Chains A and B, each alone.
Chain A
Amino acid sequence: MSTSPQNAYPAAVPTGPRTGVRANVFHGKPASSVTTFPLRPASEMVVPKVALEGISLSYKTTSGDRLLALDNISLEVKPGEFLCIVGPSGCGKSTLLHLIAGLQPQTSGKVLVDGTPVSGPGTDRILIFQELGLFPWLTVGGNVEFGMKMKNVDKAEREEKVQYYLRLVHLLKFRDSYIHQLSGGMRQRVALARALAPEPDVLLMDEPFAALDAQTRDLLHDELERIWAETGRTIIFVTHNVREAVRLGDRVALMTFRPGRVKQEFSVNLPRPRHMEQTDVARTAGDILDCLRDEIDKSLEVEYADEKVR
């Protein structure tokens, strides 16, 4: 769309679809589409959906020392935003999700959802565990229905939503199957439907696709992106795979190794839908990976050192 004199009156005449404007912004940054922020994004007017304020967590190890797992983490996630958290194994990124889910208390700091401190689990934030934790004694439908039952949603509505969410993840046909009868990718989708059914505002995902083969994972990336766009949920997605983070996230937060801190945040301004193999995804991932490398080295050092002691 070429510039015209009417554009001088933005209030009166719309200049075109919003996406077009965004696309222009992307094209304006040819070299790298990563913008790095010192530590926090510029604060905005919107109340963040999830805000972490100075979260720290320490615990006693078996040898009796205190280990600082998370150190003064502050993060803000906007409503509807897709935030990815990456870091080396052992940096406490899963633990951070457990804290947000309210399954575990932090040593200090606050988790705020819509400005209200979290004091326990709640169906406004649902976590998809790395191991999924689907209930083997329930059918696929029963699993999806579970959260709604706990919320005392009436039967007719539950029925309708089980249908809706199973259709969303393409598993309606498997409604009466048991979990062990499904493949890995199908189980992931059941977990997704189960988490979505109670309609949480925030979806927390803990390396949900780590154990899948590349094809299945790519497929689920597409589905997750579509579902995210359709349902408008806020997603916090933890992974150790930087490319996956860039593929999915609006923003990527990088965590340090022991104690876990937020080292840097990157916003990913690539147009959607994205693809893991895209060159700009790879390039962006490369930039983040450079920053992550030190942390990976540190984590390996500690792991090898543990080995030597033994």
Chain B
Amino acid sequence: MKKFAKQVIFYSALLGIWVLVAKLRIWPPYLFPPPWGVGHALWDGFADHSFWIGIAVTMKRMLIGYSLSVVLGMILGLAVSSNKFLEETLGGLLVSLQSLPSICWIPLAVLWFGLTEKAILFVVLMGSLLSVTIAMEDGRKQMPKIYGMAGRNLGASGFHLFWSVLLPASLPFIVNGMKQGWAFAWRSLIQAEMIFLSLGLGQLLMMGRDLSDMSQVMAVMILIIILGYAVDGLIFRTMERRLQEKYGLTPA
């Protein structure tokens, strides 16, 4: 409760400064709107359905692109971690590719797929696939070897060993990889949407710029923050916390 009180004070102060600066009119309102201007833009956006559509379109892409990258990333991560040759060759390439910001894939995506849905999904995929793969690979390596041995010792082999031992043993690492993958996918998608004519939140952001409507820009930014945070904070962190409790990983 004390933490909550601190947060209330902090955000009230932030809002207060915002109001103050806006009131001082250092910049014209269309460049620096007051909080109620942004609130108005949010209201209008939802009222004329453009924000609803934007959220729906963006989340749909997110779901497809992200699911694809989780599935492919897990397969790739498993392959790389269980094969010495792949680990020494492909593993290194993946790590080096991860230093490439996902926005760098856009020119390639446009040339290959045109200004289409596929191009956006491709960028999302490239943005999050690598981090999921690397997290999976790391997880397999960090997973204590004792579990596999104990499983084999108790008569598990083949699919049973994978399903009943190796998979649950690496679950904390998998969830971590999924979380990272989500964060990367989210960033990549918004970036890609800003460049394509795409109906998504990214495009709404750019539309605000084209109309010199700072209220809309900030309204969309707030939406992006809230959505991204909600999934990360509510879904992944809860999953992580539950898992850590169950596995006894939480510091006592």
Which residues of chain A have a CB within 8 Å of any CB of chain B?
Answer: 101, 103, 121-123, 126-127, 129, 131-137, 146-147, 149-151, 178-181, 194, 198
Contact = CB atoms under 8 A, between A and B. Distances in A.
B248 A126 contact: no
Given A133-B146, A137-B169, A103 B154 contact: no
Interface of B: 144, 146-147, 149-150, 152-157, 160, 164-165, 168-169, 171, 246-248
A103 B152 contact: yes
A150 B168 contact: no
A129 B150 contact: yes
Query: Shortest 10 CB-CB distances between A and B: which pairs?
Result: A180-B248, A133-B150, A150-B155, A133-B146, A147-B154, A137-B168, A123-B155, A136-B247, A121-B152, A150-B156
Contact of B246 (A132, A146, A151, A178): A178
B155 A198 contact: yes
Contacts of B247: 136-137, 178, 180
Contacts of B147: 133, 135
A146 B164 contact: yes
Contacts of B149: 103, 129, 133
Contacts of A103: 149, 152-153
Given A133-B146, A135-B150, A178-B246, A122 B155 contact: yes
Task: Summarize B's interface: helix, strand, loop or mixed.
Answer: helix
Contacts of B157: 121
A179 B153 CA distance: 19
Contacts of B154: 123, 126, 146-147, 150, 194, 198
Given A137-B168, A150-B154, 14 more contacts: A122-B155, A126-B154, A129-B146, A133-B146, A133-B147, A134-B150, A135-B169, A136-B248, A137-B169, A137-B247, A178-B246, A178-B247, A178-B248, A180-B248
A186 B30 CA distance: 68
Nearest to A179: B248
Contacts of A122: 155
A261 B160 CA distance: 37
B121 to A, nearest CB: 34
Nearest to A124: B155
Contacts of B169: 135, 137
